[in-house]
Amino acid sequence: MNGSWTAFGGDLHLDLTERRAAGAGLRAALEDALREAVQDGRLAPGTRLPSSRALGEDLGIARNTVVEAYGQLTAEGWLSSRQGSGTTVARRAVPVRDGRAQGESTRTGPVRGGRAAPARVRPTVRHDLMSGRPDLSLFPRTAWLAAARRALATAPHEALGYGGPLGRIELREALTHYLARVRGVRTDPDHLLVCNGFQQGFGLLCAALRERGARALAVEGYGLPPQHAVARAAGLSPVPLPLDSDGALVDRLDARCGAVLLTPAHQYPTGAPLSADRRAAAVRWAREQDRYVIEDDYDGEFRYDRQPLGAMQALDPERVVYAGTAAKSLAPGLRLAWLALPDALVEPVARLKALTDTMSPVLDQLTLAELITSGTYDRHVRRCRLHYRRRRDRLVAALAEHAPQVEVTGIAAGLHAVLQLPPGSTPEAELLARAEAAGLALGSLGWHRVDPTVAEDAAPALVIGYGTPPEHAFPAALAALCEVLRTA
Q: Are residues 194 and 299 in the same domain?
A: yes
Please provide residue 12's backbone torsions phi and psi, each rounded to the nearest 5 degrees: -110, 115
Question: What residue numbers bound the domain in which 443 lies?
Answer: 127-133+379-486
Nearest to 143 by CA among 383, 389, 391, 472: 383
DSSP string, 19-60: HHHTT--HHHHHHHHHHHHHHTTSS-TTPBPPPHHHHHHHHT
327-339 confidence digits (pLDDT tens): 999 999 999 999 9
156-172: per-residue pLDDT in tens? Answer: 999 999 999 999 999 99
What CATH number is attached to the domain comprising 186? Answer: 3.40.640.10
> Is residue 323 domain-resident?
yes
pLDDT in the model for residue 99: 38
Q: Is the pLDDT of residue 464 over 80?
A: yes
pLDDT at position 119 = 39
Asked, for residue 108, whether it belongs to a domain, the answer is no
Is 103 within a domain? no
Mean pLDDT computed over 455-470:
83
Q: In this structure, is residue 340 part of a structural domain?
A: yes
Largest CA distance in the chain: 85
CA distance 29 to 88: 19
Q: Are residues 370 and 391 in the same domain?
A: no
Instruction: Tell me the backbone φ, ψ of residue 471, rounded to 5 degrees.
Output: -55, -40
pLDDT band at 11 (very low <50, low <70, confident <90, very high): low
CA distance 420 to 443: 13
Three-state DSSP class for 240?
strand
330 and 413 belong to one structural domain: no
Name the packing angle between helices 428-437 and 474-486 (round to 10°). 130
Kindly state whether residues 73 and 162 are assigned to the same domain.
no
Rounded to whole angstroms, the Cα distance separating 362 from 349 reads 19
Integer distance in angstroms from the first to the last C-alpha of the chain? 45
pTM over 0.85: no
- The reply to whether 226 and 351 lie within a common domain is yes
Residues 371 and 385 in one domain: no
pLDDT, tens digit, for every residue of 122-147? Answer: 557 889 999 989 999 999 999 999 99
Whether 109 is in a domain gets the answer no
User: Last residue of a domain, which of 350, 375, 400?
Assistant: 375
How many domains is the chain partitioned into structurally?
3
386: Cβ–Cβ under 8 A, 6 or more apart, which residues?
none
* Cβ-contact 403, 157 below 8 angstroms: no
pLDDT tens readout for residues 221-278: 999 999 999 999 999 999 999 999 999 999 999 889 999 999 999 999 999 999 999 9
Read off the pLDDT of residues 80-112 as tens digits, 9 standing for 90 and up: 887 777 888 888 644 444 433 333 333 333 333
Q: Flag whether 118 is in a domain.
A: no
| Distance from C-alpha of 55 to C-alpha of 43, rounded to nearest angstrom | 15
Closest CA to 198 of 132, 245, 136: 132
Q: Which of 315, 344, 375 is the last residue of a domain?
A: 375
Choose the final residue of a domain: 341, 375, 409: 375
